[in-house]
Structure 1
Amino acid sequence: MPTKPRPHALQVSPLAYEGRLDARPLSQVDLVVIHCTELPDLATAREYGERVLYAERTDGSGGTGNSGHYYVDRNGACHRFVAPDRVAHHVRGYNPRSIGIELVNAGRWPHWLDSRHQAMEEAYPDAQIEALVVLLNALRTELPSLRHIAGHEDLDTAMVPASDDPKILVPRKRDPGPMFPWQRVLAEVPLQPVGRGHAPDDS
């Protein structure tokens, strides 16, 4: 019987502003959100994560940007850009209680909001999904309150004007998209899906 590939070691590469992100107790985290980068490669995703998008405030906070906590490359390599005890900006309305995992995948890149380019056709390689499952199960051990899982598209359902024709509305977020193997992941990771006919509670 063939053996499964061994998971890649987690590579910890903190973003420069990690220490400026709000701290939180790990007991606060009960939700993991699956994203795809909608960018061509990990290097571009890192460059985007490093951008400072929120101005520094007078109290010394701020000076941060948008990023997931973990990134899983197509070959299964796992990177941590933000520690789980920090609140990363990755999904509107759910950041304080959630972990963001970004899968490197082109998605709709580079025409994210063009109504003629809404298909998401890049498959997620087996190595990437196997590494994601390993990471999710490790997080279940590390974060005792973790019990929910959702896709970005399940939580951010806003429609916005298309970049090619503002009279047409397109989804602001579609990730991880139709190619993501939800059934496979949920069969291997005992987390409750939310946003798909379910709603996360606040207990």
Structure 2
Amino acid sequence: MGMAMRVAGTRARSAVPSATDPLNPIWHPSPNFGERRDGLTPSLIVIHYTAMDSAQAALDRLCDPKAEVSAHYLVGNDGTLWQMVREEDRAWHAGAGEWHGQTDINSRSIGIELDNAGKHPFPEPQMHRLEQLLRQIMYRWAILPNGVIGHSDMAPGRKFDPGPRFDWLRLERNLLATPRGYAAGPQTASKGQFRNLAQAAGFSADVDDDTLLHAVRLRYRPWGRGPLQQADLAPLIPHS
């Protein structure tokens, strides 16, 4: 199949795993899904961590009808890949929140869970498999790097995954996430300027200044502490 350009969010081919899929995910269907609403198709990919003891524990929960949660994919720390919901269906992974002013993220996104408690680095086999998966999903649905976000990006203050140990820079360097800005920015960092830049970058949820700052730092400067600094604005300034 050629690499012809497609409208973002348009399915290129069946999203159901097949024997010819080089990733060959383990099909482990979850009952927790529904139809995407209002004719929406995936234009976002939301990355999560499981915050559970093992991939098996996460898989059990994501497939438990009583839990009422699910995701499209789960990537184990050894790179094992499971698929629980077809990409064209609506998994229940994002919950309340918004990105670029758009709500019902579940209907707009594909959810990927990573087997990680949020307190340690993500192993190389897991990151490698994630990158392979992202490339396939982005191609299938014509999703651009700015459509790859973390759970904490769209739900500031409510969610914190994939957490401070996730290597966003690695994804950026491989064109799998929006590259951060490196401009010096204004000499003084005002809360108004910061909020405007954050909203333009996609952080549009209605939260207070401290919660917004924490969410942006989780994505770009997880080591950042204290009040707003000039360095907090720099990653949000788009490349010229």
TM over 0.5: yes
Aligned to 1:182: 168
Q: Amino acid of the residue matched to residue 62 of structure 2? A: G
Q: How does 1:55-66 map to 2 (within 5 A)?
A: 65-66=68-69
Measure, in 2, the Cα distance between the counterparts of 1:176 and 1:128. Answer: 13
Cα displacement (A) at 1:87:
0.7
Q: More deviation in 127-136 or 180-189?
A: 180-189
Whether contact under 8 Å (2:138, 2:144) holds in the other structure is yes
Mark the CA change 1:27 to 1:156 in structure 2 (over 3 Å): closer, same or farther: closer
For the pair 1:29 / 2:42, whether they are aligned, the reply is: yes
**d(CA) in 2 for partners of 1:24, 1:134:** 28
Aligned-partner Cα distance in 2 for 1:152–1:139 = 17
Task: Determine the C-alpha separation between the residues in 1 that align with 2:45 and 2:140.
Answer: 13
SS in 2 for 1:71: strand
TM-aligned CA distance change 1:145 to 1:175, over 3 Å:
closer
Structure-2 separation of matches of 1:69 and 1:153: 18
Pick closer, same or farther for the CA change 1:35–1:127 going to 2, 3 Å: same
Q: Per the alignment, do residues 141 and 43 of structure 1 end up closer, same or farther by CA in structure 2, a change over 3 Å counting?
A: same
Give the match for residue 199 of structure 1. 202
Corresponding residue for 1:165? none
Picking from 125, 135, 138, the partner of 1:137 is: 135
Q: Is the 8 A contact 2:29 2:85 kept in 1?
A: yes
Distance 1:10 1:126 in 2: 18
**Alpha carbons 1:106, 1:122 under 8 Å: kept:** yes
Indicate the residue corresponding to 2:159 in structure 1. 173
Question: Equivalent residue for 1:95?
Answer: 106
Tell me how far 1:52 sits from its aligned partner. Answer: 2.2
- How many pairs align? 156
Q: Deviations over 1:63-84 (max 9, x none)?
A: x821111110000111111111
Q: Kindly name which structure, 1 or 2, has the bigger radius of gyration based on alpha carbons.
A: 2
Distance 1:173 1:193, change over 3 A: farther
Deviation, 1:184, is: 0.4
The structure with the largest helix share of the pair is 2
Whether contact under 8 Å (2:62, 2:70) holds in the other structure is yes
Structure 2 unaligned regions, length at least 5:
1-21, 96-103, 181-196, 205-240
Higher relative contact order (CA 8 A, sep 6+): 1
Q: Does 1:105 align with 2:105?
A: no
Pairwise CA distance, 1:190: 3.8
1:96-125 Cα offsets, whole Å, 9 max, x none, are 101110000123xxxxxxxxxxxxx21100
Judging by fraction of residues, say which structure has more strand: 1
Of 40, 62, 73 in structure 2, the residue corresponding to residue 70 of structure 1 is: 73
Q: Matches of residues 140-155 of structure 1 in structure 2 within 5 Å?
A: 140-145=138-143, 147=145, 148-155=147-154
Q: Which runs of 5+ in 1 are unaligned?
A: 1-6, 54-63, 108-120, 159-171
Question: Structure 1: how far apart are the matches of 2:84 and 2:144?
Answer: 20
| Matching residue of 2:30 | 15
Q: Is the 8 A contact 2:50 2:115 kept in 1?
A: yes
2-structure distance, mates of 1:23, 1:181 = 30
| Residue equivalent to 1:115 | none
Q: How many percent identity over aligned positions?
A: 30
Q: How far apart, in 1, do the equivalents of 2:45 and 2:32 lie?
A: 22
Please give the root-mean-square deviation of Cα atoms over the aligned residues, in Å.
Answer: 2.7
| Matches of 1:14 and 1:25, distance apart in 2 | 24
